[in-house]
């Protein structure tokens, strides 16, 4: 496979002041406590929660005030508290998905959380624009995580 057409991944790294077990749990089972649902969801103001079903084959689901659900992703790899990988497609009627990999490593002062989002080539003509949107979007999402931990 040639890499000349590969679109660079979005990579974001943050150090959070908690251990890897707690960071992994906060990012997965407690995401609805800090995720900016109003701005980073399918339902917007009607979004009320996130259900993250753990383990390979689990799904990440946005919950709405009216009892609706939107599947954002499927878990393809699960290695707590070190990393997880998702088949990521938070859209109504998705036609394809990108890959989201989040890893957790112990460092002085807490845990380094590294988010790598790739597979943009799968989106054809809209790939670059979509990648740039997620590059900005992950800054907002991770900023909310940092704010939550302050």
Those residues whose C-beta lies under 8 Å from the C-beta of residue 80, and which sit 6 or more positions away, are 21, 24, 28, 54
Interstrand relation of 47-52 and 59-64 (parallel, antiparallel or unpaired):
antiparallel
Closest to 116 (Cα-Cα) out of 131, 106, 132, 101: 101
Predicted confidence band of residue 5 (pLDDT cuts 50, 70, 90): low
Instruction: Note the pLDDT tens digit of each residue in 28-81.
Output: 999 999 999 999 999 999 999 999 999 999 999 999 999 999 999 999 999 999
pLDDT tens-digit readout, 99-130: 999 999 999 999 999 999 999 999 999 999 99
Give the list of residues 6+ apart from residue 62 with CB closer than 8 angstroms, or none.
37, 41, 42, 43, 47, 49, 50, 69, 70, 71, 72, 90
Q: Which domains does the chain have, with CATH numbers?
A: 10-34+73-149 (3.30.530.20)
Residues whose CB is less than 8 angstroms from the CB of residue 95 and which lie 6 or more positions away in sequence, other chains included:
none
Question: Residue 6: its pLDDT value, please?
Answer: 86
């Amino acid at each position: 496979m040639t890499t000349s057409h590969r679109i660079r991944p979005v990579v974001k790294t943050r150090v959070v002041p908690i251990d890897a077990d707690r960071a992994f749990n906060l990012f997965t089972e407690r995401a609805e406590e800090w995720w900016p649902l109003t701005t980073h969801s399918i339902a917007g103001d009607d979004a009320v929660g996130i259900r993250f079903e753990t383990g390979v084959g689990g799904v990440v689901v946005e919950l709405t005030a009216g009892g609706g659900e939107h599947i954002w992703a499927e878990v393809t790899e699960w290695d707590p508290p070190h990393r997880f990988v998702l088949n990521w497609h938070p859209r109504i009627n998705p036609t394809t998905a990108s890959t989201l990999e989040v890893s957790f490593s112990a460092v002085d002062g807490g845990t380094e959380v590294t988010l790598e989002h790739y597979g943009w080539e799968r989106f054809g003509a809209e790939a670059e624009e979509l990648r740039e949107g997620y590059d900005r979007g992950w800054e907002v999402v991770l900023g909310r995580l940092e704010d939550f931990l302050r």
